[in-house]
Structure 1
Amino acid sequence: MPRLLAILATTHALIAPPSQRHGTAQRAIKIVDHVNMNHEKGRHDLLKAFYFDLLGFAVDPRKMENLDKGKKTLWANAGIAQLHLPEGKPEAQPLDGRLTLAYADLDRFDEARLNAAHEALEGTKFQMRANADGFDVSCPWGTPMTIKIDGEAADPRGVQDGEASAPLHMTDIALHVSRGADLAGVQRFYTSVMGVPEGDCTLVADQLLQLKIGPAQTLSFVAKPFGKANHAELGEDEEGRPTNGGVHISMYVDDLGAVYDRADALDLAYVNYRFKRRAHTKDEALDQCMFRVLDVIDPDAPENGAIVQVEHEIRSCVKPDGSKYKSCPLREV
């Protein structure tokens, strides 16, 4: 794992030199706006102590009443991005990967705040260890995170609703793939289906694929040192329809219809009956401003099946009438 972390750190510098971060190049994926992962049912106290009190995420006002009630989903805002934290049934859902959080400075992590966090989170999987650039952290349920200083990390294009978070940004979402997985095929999925430019993709030693998303964010796929990667929890609802209770990532794209056409041509459009919004057709996708994909495949060899299963909630920045979709955090689309 240390070797892979070193590769990740090196590749950040290769992809996004600070002087180039806020360019205006057009990309099909505008932003990965949220990661959805379950927390332990009934433990909003742990969410509050970790995400809000320690890390400085802001409570999204659209879910504030749930914090007051101590149940159901919370949204934790980090500048322009956020985490969606629904209740598990009852277990939590640690990310099989790593999140990187960049702060303008690390002043908030003083002795008093760290001591309070250790006390509030005692008995959980929470850990926080200093490294040369910041901290390595585990959430109360084991999701690994890296905290670092980066004064240029904030994305100036928008912000989530409500009070501002601490000056932080989710600069990288790293997801594991099983050892030996075809990362070149994953790259072809993102260039051919999702429209990521070839120049925004970096493949390192068959161990890491990193995609530049927006001016200060990357989406990475990292070979797992051992074991199989797992992001999906597949099942059926009471009527026998497919569900996935696993982690998902959400992203906004320039042209939802074009992305849907490319995904549908490979039979990748997916309906998850866990959620009320469901797009069975292109027209429904355009009407609802979203559709989902579960299987990441190589478009050059679709017969080989999924390289990795990770649910993508693919959203449109605009509604069918051309107005901005209400949840899109970008000021201009």
Structure 2
Amino acid sequence: MSKVECPWNRAAESLGNSVELQHVNLRVPDQRLATAFYISALGLTRDPFLLTGVENMWANAGVSQFHLPHGQAQLLRGTIGLVLPDRAQLLHRLQTARRWLEGTRYGFEEAADHIAVTCPWGNRFRCHAPEAERFGRIQLGIPYVEFDVAPGTLDGIVRFYREIVQAPARIEDGVAKALVAPGQYLTFRETDRPQPAYDGHHIQLAFVDFGGVHARLSERGLISQEDSQFQYRFIRLVDPDNGRLLFEVEHECRSMTHPLFMRRLVNRNPAVTNLVYAPGAEELAWAMPPE
């Protein structure tokens, strides 16, 4: 039988073991200000089904969420990337939100390829317009969470995600990138700037080989919490070669059998209001339409 030539790069579609970046969890001390920032300014959608009270808020961003429980403010040591569908509308919302967020650390600044936004408590966001070459078909979502790490740690971080999490990871343009879901990455950028102490914020991933990651973490003493049959946590990223601590951020690890795995999220179209309304246009698809 003759060999069939393949015109595509099949490896480009390989995900590895991590298949979902479901949420970023940051405590906030004021749910009203969180609503003004995440819902009114960024244009995200409050989950209409779960955690709808005053002590927590889940804000939908495409296939991912922000979890915003009430408590002392947490600061992610890095920058959260967002893709939002309309730069002009975003700038209008950001300007309008000044009235509610005055006196906080809120602010924004335009750059050529993004808008840098700071939340009321100092968390940094980089808001991009949809761009297929950079972010695939995402027009609403979290394409990356970028962490600031100490110099000399990138090689070990790549080894950690490759060998322990078994997610594709590499260093590209001086940044370590671990693919953790379709079109979504954890990235790590070295900096000399002093970093605040880790304060307990977390991200959530889902694994195909849920048990295998647990075993590799356990043999190194890295499991920090056993939550349920479907979930455990770890905090410390270490170099698999020598056990050296490289960075700390809690990973909430779920199985693909977790009841919330790939739960469909509702995303509104923030351009639709009671004053500018078109029937059937209330919901926004997180992916670009077919070509």
Per the alignment, residue 142 of structure 2 pairs with 170
Q: Cα distance, 1:215 vs. partner?
A: 2.6
Structure 1: runs of 5 or more not aligned: 1-18, 157-166, 234-245, 272-277, 280-284, 319-324
Q: Does 1:296 align with 2:237?
A: yes
Superposed, 1:63-212 pairs within 5 Å as 63=50, 65-66=52-53, 71-88=54-71, 91-111=72-92, 113-152=93-132, 153=135, 167-178=139-150, 180-197=151-168, 200-205=169-174, 208-212=175-179
Per the alignment, residue 214 of structure 2 pairs with 260
1:35 to 24, 42, 56: 24
Structure 2: runs of 5 or more not aligned: 1-7, 265-291
Contact 1:21 1:215 in 2 (8 A): no
Structure 1 pair 201/252, CA: closer, same or farther in 2 (3 Å)?
same
Aligned AA (1:225)? D
Structure 1 pair 51/266, CA: closer, same or farther in 2 (3 Å)?
same
Structure 2 Cα separation of the partners of residues 265 and 22 of structure 1: 30
Per the alignment, residue 15 of structure 1 pairs with none
Contact 1:79 1:154 in 2 (8 A): no
Structure 1 Cα separation of the partners of residues 239 and 59 of structure 2: 33
Superposed, 1:315-330 pairs within 5 Å as 315-318=254-257, 325-329=258-262
Structure 2 Cα separation of the partners of residues 265 and 298 of structure 1: 14
Q: Cα distance, 1:137 vs. partner?
A: 0.4
Structure 2 Cα separation of the partners of residues 256 and 212 of structure 1: 16
Aligned AA (1:221)? F
Q: Does 1:57 align with 2:29?
A: no
- SS of the residue corresponding to residue 33 of structure 2 reads helix
Identity among equivalent pairs (%): 29
How many pairs does the alignment contain?
Answer: 255
Q: What is the TM-score normalised by the length of structure 1? A: 0.70
Aligned AA (2:154)? L
Per-residue Cα deviation, 1:170-228 (whole angstroms, up to 9, x for no partner):
011011213x242211111111100013xx422544xx212223331111112233113
- SS of the residue corresponding to residue 191 of structure 1 reads helix
Per-residue Cα deviation, 1:257-309 (whole angstroms, up to 9, x for no partner):
111111111111112xxxxxx34xxxxx5x2x11111111011102x3x2111
- SS of the residue corresponding to residue 125 of structure 1 reads coil
Per the alignment, residue 219 of structure 1 pairs with 186
Q: What is the TM-score normalised by the length of structure 2? A: 0.80
Structure 1 pair 294/103, CA: closer, same or farther in 2 (3 Å)?
same
Structure 2 Cα separation of the partners of residues 297 and 184 of structure 1: 11
Structure 2 Cα separation of the partners of residues 120 and 53 of structure 1: 10
CA RMSD of aligned residues (A): 2.4
Structure 1 pair 227/26, CA: closer, same or farther in 2 (3 Å)?
closer
Q: Does 1:311 align with 2:250?
A: yes
Aligned AA (2:239)? D
Structure 1 pair 212/73, CA: closer, same or farther in 2 (3 Å)?
same
Contact 1:184 1:203 in 2 (8 A): no
- SS of the residue corresponding to residue 108 of structure 1 reads helix
